[in-house]
C-alpha cells in the first residue's frame, strides 16, 4: 500500500477555506460527542525555540502533527512555524500520507477563530480588528470574511510595512492601517502576536466585543489585560492546553484568574451543549491554543481530495 507525499504546493492546491471551516466545525462537534481521542499537546524545548507533538484520532483516521515555533527564524528567511502531519489509517495504523502542515496550521487556526466568532460574536458584527498582521492574519481575514460581511477591517502591526502587505493581499476589502486602540475597538478582534505581557486594554473595548485571543500558545505568553478576562465570557478550545499555555495561563499562574471562571469549551457550544452569546453587550473571549483534532480534520480532507484527484507522488514507506 503506498503512502501519499503532499508537499506545500500540493497542500496549497488542495486546501480551501470554506471546506476547512466545515471540517473543523464538524471536528468540534464530534469531540464534544466523545467521538474523538486527543491526548494533551507535548512540548519539547530547545535552545532557539520549541517543538510540539499533537496526536489525535477522529472517525476514519488518526495522526500526529509535529510542529515547531522558532521566533528567530525570520532572520534566516525561514518560517517561524513549520509543521508536518503523518496521517494514518485508524484500523491498521498504516501511514496513508505525509503532508506539509504549516499551511494547514494557518488555515485551521483561522477557521477555529471564525467558528468561535460565529457562535460568540454579535450577528450584526460589521468591523474586524486584526492586531498582528503576519502570516496568521491572512487566514484569519480569509476565514472571517467567509462568515461575516465587514464594513471596516482595522489592521494594526508594529510594522506598517507588514500591515500594508496584508492589505495588498485583500484589495477588495475595506482595510485600513490603524492604531492598536482603533483595532481593539472593533466588533470582532483577533490578537495574533507573540506578546509576553498585555497589549490590549480593557478600556479600549466596546460593549459586545468578541475577541479571538490566538497569539498566546505557550506558557508565559499573554496579550489581554486580565481585567478583560474577568469581565468576559471566556471560552477555550481545550481546558488543559488553555490553562497551561493559552491566554489564561499567566493570570491563572498568578492567581488573578481561575479555571473555574471559564464558561465552557468551543466544542460544547458547537454541539449545542451550552449556548453561545447571551446578549449584545457582553464581552466574549475565545482562548485559542490550537488543538490536534483541527489538524486531523483538515488532513483527512486534504488526503481524501488528493486520492480522488490522483496524480500525487507515492512511496512504499513501510
Whether residues 305 and 207 share a domain: the answer is no
All residues at 6 or more sequence positions from 129 whose CB lies less than 8 Å from its CB, including other chains: 153, 154, 156, 182, 183, 184, 185, 186, 188, 189, 190
Helices within the chain (DSSP H only): 8-14, 17-32, 102-120, 135-144, 160-169, 180-184, 226-231, 239-245, 249-253, 266-270, 292-309
DSSP letter at 145 equals T
Distance from C-alpha of 6 to C-alpha of 12, rounded to nearest angstrom = 10
Whether residues 284 and 299 share a domain: the answer is no
Whether residues 136 and 32 share a domain: the answer is no
Active-site hit among 41, 48, 65, 123: 65
Distance from C-alpha of 210 to C-alpha of 37, rounded to nearest angstrom = 29
Distance from C-alpha of 184 to C-alpha of 242, rounded to nearest angstrom = 22
Whether residues 136 and 282 share a domain: the answer is yes
The total of structural domains in the chain comes to: 2
CA dihedral 163, 165, 171, 177 (to 10 degrees): 20
Tens digits of residue pLDDT in 215-228: 998 889 999 999 99
Answer yes or no: 65 catalytic. yes
Whether residues 80 and 184 share a domain: the answer is no
Whether residues 286 and 297 share a domain: the answer is no
Distance from C-alpha of 151 to C-alpha of 16, rounded to nearest angstrom = 24
Tens digits of residue pLDDT in 256-266: 999 999 999 99
Q: pLDDT at position 79, please?
A: 87
In which domain, by residue range, is 32 found? 3-104+293-315
Distance from C-alpha of 262 to C-alpha of 248, rounded to nearest angstrom = 9
Tens digit of pLDDT at every position of the chain (318 positions): 899 999 999 999 999 999 999 999 999 999 999 999 999 889 899 999 999 999 999 998 999 999 999 989 989 999 888 999 999 999 999 999 999 999 999 999 999 999 999 999 999 999 999 999 998 999 999 999 999 999 999 999 999 999 999 999 999 999 999 999 999 999 999 999 999 999 999 999 999 999 999 999 888 999 999 999 999 999 999 999 999 999 999 999 999 999 999 999 999 999 999 999 999 999 999 999 999 999 999 999 999 999 999 999 999 999
Whether residues 118 and 263 share a domain: the answer is yes
The residue among 228, 25, 221 whose CA lies nearest residue 114 is 25
Whether residues 128 and 228 share a domain: the answer is yes
What's the pTM value of the predicted model, to 2 decimals?
0.95
Amino acid at each position: 500500500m503506498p503512502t501519499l507525499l503532499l508537499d506545500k504546493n500540493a497542500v496549497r492546491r488542495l486546501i480551501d477555506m470554506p471546506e476547512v471551516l466545515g471540517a473543523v466545525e464538524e471536528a468540534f462537534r464530534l469531540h464534544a460527542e466523545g467521538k474523538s481521542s486527543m491526548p494533551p499537546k507535548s512540548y519539547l524545548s530547545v535552545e532557539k525555540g520549541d517543538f510540539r507533538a499533537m496526536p489525535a484520532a477522529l472517525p476514519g483516521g488518526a495522526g500526529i502533527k509535529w510542529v515547531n515555533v522558532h521566533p528567530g527564524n525570520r532572520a534566516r528567511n525561514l518560517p517561524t512555524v513549520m509543521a508536518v502531519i503523518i496521517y494514518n489509517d485508524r484500523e491498521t495504523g498504516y501511514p496513508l500520507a505525509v503532508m506539509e502542515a504549516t499551511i494547514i496550521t494557518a488555515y485551521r487556526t483561522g477557521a477555529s477563530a471564525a467558528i468561535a466568532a460565529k457562535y460568540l460574536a454579535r450577528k450584526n458584527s460589521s468591523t474586524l480588528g486584526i492586531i498582528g498582521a503576519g502570516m496568521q492574519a491572512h487566514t484569519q481575514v480569509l476565514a472571517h470574511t467567509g462568515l461575516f460581511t465587514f464594513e471596516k477591517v482595522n489592521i494594526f502591526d508594529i510594522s506598517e510595512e507588514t500591515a500594508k502587505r496584508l492589505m495588498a493581499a485583500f484589495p477588495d476589502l475595506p482595510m485600513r492601517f490603524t492604531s492598536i486602540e482603533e483595532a481593539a475597538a472593533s466588533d470582532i478582534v483577533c490578537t495574533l502576536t507573540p506578546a509576553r505581557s498585555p497589549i490590549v486594554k480593557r478600556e479600549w473595548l466596546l460593549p459586545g466585543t468578541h475577541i479571538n485571543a490566538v497569539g498566546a500558545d505557550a506558557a508565559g505568553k499573554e496579550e489581554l489585560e486580565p481585567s478583560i478576562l474577568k469581565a468576559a465570557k471566556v471560552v477555550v478550545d481545550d481546558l488543559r492546553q488553555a490553562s497551561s499555555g493559552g491566554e489564561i495561563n499567566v493570570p491563572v499562574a498568578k492567581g488573578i484568574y481561575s479555571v473555574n471562571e471559564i464558561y465552557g469549551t468551543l466544542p460544547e457550544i458547537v454541539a449545542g451543549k451550552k449556548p453561545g452569546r447571551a446578549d449584545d453587550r457582553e464581552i466574549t473571549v475565545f482562548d485559542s491554543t490550537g488543538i490536534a483534532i483541527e489538524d486531523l480534520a483538515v488532513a483527512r480532507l486534504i488526503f481524501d481530495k488528493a486520492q480522488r484527484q490522483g496524480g500525487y507522488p507515492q512511496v512504499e514507506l513501510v
